[in-house]
Amino acid sequence: MHALDTEQSVAVIGAGAMGAGIAQVAASAGHPVMIYDTAAGAAQAGIASIAKGLERQVARGKMDSAQRDAILARLSPVSDLQDLTPARLVIEAIVENLAVKQQVLAQVEAICGVDCILASNTSSISITSIAAGLTRPQNLAGLHFFNPAPVMKLVEVVAGLDTDPAIADCLLATARGWGKQAVLAKSTPGFIVNRLARPFYAEGLRLLEEGAADSATLDALMRDAGGFPMGPFELMDLIGHDVNYAVTRSVFDAYYGDDRFLPSLTQQALVEGGRLGRKSGRGFYDYRDGAAPAEP
Ligand code: NAI
């Protein structure tokens, strides 16, 4: 199956960090993009954050204002799931929770056409298990972007047990058409990157809990001496501790409680305290009142 044509509509459900970024990628490629979120004003806020990012690119001379306006004109917030009927591809980027994802996607498949492709941006939940809640499980695949979606090149297309190979092919071709490096992954716990990245976070957290050094020192060592673009703590702050903790729990559960993936009590406490990282203003670092470390 070929890539989607750019005149075909894309819908993004969830207008948080990832949903807004994915909407920007699809609109930049030329698609009309609808954005839906259950939180009041979130879709509009997502579009405003895209506009802010595009404005920065115009200011830096990386884009002209006509291109910015064209991208923004392709984005529309919608307030009712029913409005997603014309979508040819629906990508969900909502909370990392199996039951909620199943429920929303089941609603979507009742609204959209039989050939509508359903995609989940889940970081770690089995595509096979999300699909098990659908009447057309063959239409669902993972389409896993990385944060921030407009910048990060890699996209994992994740095929579950029931995923139609033609749908996976279409998503691979579409993501490549959007300028991404798309790879096919199986629906194994954490897929490829989140599985490989678990020890990076887990060992960082263990070193911190053992008092080896503070988070800023460990981040600086990995970044400045280790050659990593970001250390584990600033990266977890960027991802969001709610998301990162949910991913660790999901991989831990999927491997029957294997100690290698044991979730950290330090991170659990951050989630309980609402210290979710950049998005809530505090995580390992304090981002309030302009106290944020420089953008990575
Ligand atoms: P976020 O917390 O920034 O945004 C989630 C958005 O979904 C919120 O605006 C919320 O109001 C909305 N939402 C929640 N339930 C909804 C529902 N039932 N219907 C419609 N909207 C709903 O989360 P973020 O970071 O954007 O993550 C979203 C998904 O993307 C998760 O599955 C996460 O695992 C995945 N992901 C996250 C990455 C990250 O670095 N944060 C990277 C790659 C994937």
1 secondary structure, DSSP code: -
CATH number at residue 60: 3.40.50.720
Task: Please report, as a single letter, which amino acid is at residue 75.
Answer: L
- On the question of pLDDT at 260 being above 60, the answer is yes
CA of 260 from ligand 1 middle (Å) equals: 26
**Same structural domain for residues 147 and 200?**
no
Last residue of a domain, one of 151, 186, 221: 186
Q: Structurally, how many domains does the chain consist of?
A: 2
Cβ–ligand 1 contact at 37 (below 6 Å): yes
Q: What is the pTM of this model?
A: 0.94
CA atoms of 224 and 147, how far apart (whole Å) = 21
- 140's tokens: 């669902």
**Same structural domain for residues 97 and 75?**
yes
Last residue of a domain, one of 159, 186, 213: 186
Kindly state the average pLDDT of the residues 266-282. 98
Kindly state the average pLDDT of the residues 224-230. 96
CATH number at residue 243: 1.10.1040.50
pLDDT band (50, 70, 90) for residue 289: confident
Non-local CB neighbours of 210 within 8 Å, separated by 6+ positions: none
What is the per-residue pLDDT for 76? 98
**Same structural domain for residues 165 and 214?**
no
67-100 per-position pLDDT tens digit: 999 999 999 999 999 999 999 999 999 999 999 9
Tell me whether residue 49 is one of the annotated catalytic residues: no
3-state secondary structure 64-97: CHHHHHHHHHCEEEECCHHHHCCCCEEEECCCCC
Asked if the structure places residue 4 within a domain, the reply is no
CA atoms of 72 and 159, how far apart (whole Å) = 32
Cβ–ligand 1 contact at 44 (below 6 Å): no
Cβ–ligand 1 contact at 38 (below 6 Å): yes
**Same structural domain for residues 173 and 254?**
no
Asked if the structure places residue 100 within a domain, the reply is yes
Apex 144 CA angle, 267 and 269, nearest 5? 10
- On the question of pLDDT at 164 being above 60, the answer is yes
Tell me whether residue 280 is one of the annotated catalytic residues: no
Asked if the structure places residue 1 within a domain, the reply is no
Kindly state the average pLDDT of the residues 214-239. 97
Q: Which of 23, 8, 6 is nearest to 91 (CA)?
A: 23
- On the question of pLDDT at 291 being above 90, the answer is no
**Same structural domain for residues 114 and 241?**
no
Q: Which of 77, 92, 78 is nearest to 139 (CA)?
A: 92
- Domain with 222, as residue range(s), is 194-285
pLDDT band (50, 70, 90) for residue 1: low
**Same structural domain for residues 136 and 281?**
no
pLDDT band (50, 70, 90) for residue 290: low
- On the question of pLDDT at 13 being above 90, the answer is yes
Asked if the structure places residue 294 within a domain, the reply is no
Cβ 119 vs Cβ 89: under 8 Å: yes
pLDDT band (50, 70, 90) for residue 294: very low
pLDDT band (50, 70, 90) for residue 115: very high
Report percent pLDDT > 90 for the chain.
97
- On the question of pLDDT at 292 being above 90, the answer is no
Exactly one of 194, 215, 244, 250 is catalytic; which is it? 194
**Same structural domain for residues 35 and 141?**
yes
**Same structural domain for residues 128 and 249?**
no
Q: Which of 202, 96, 113 is nearest to 147 (CA)?
A: 96
CA of 28 from ligand 1 middle (Å) equals: 21
- On the question of pLDDT at 117 being above 50, the answer is yes
- On the question of pLDDT at 168 being above 90, the answer is yes
- Report CA-CA distances (Å) from 99 to 88, 94, 125, 196: 24, 11, 10, 25
To the nearest whole number, what is the mean pLDDT of the chain? 96
Kindly state the average pLDDT of the residues 224-234. 96
Apex 84 CA angle, 72 and 63, nearest 5? 15
**Same structural domain for residues 52 and 106?**
yes
Exactly one of 31, 144, 234, 241 is catalytic; which is it? 144
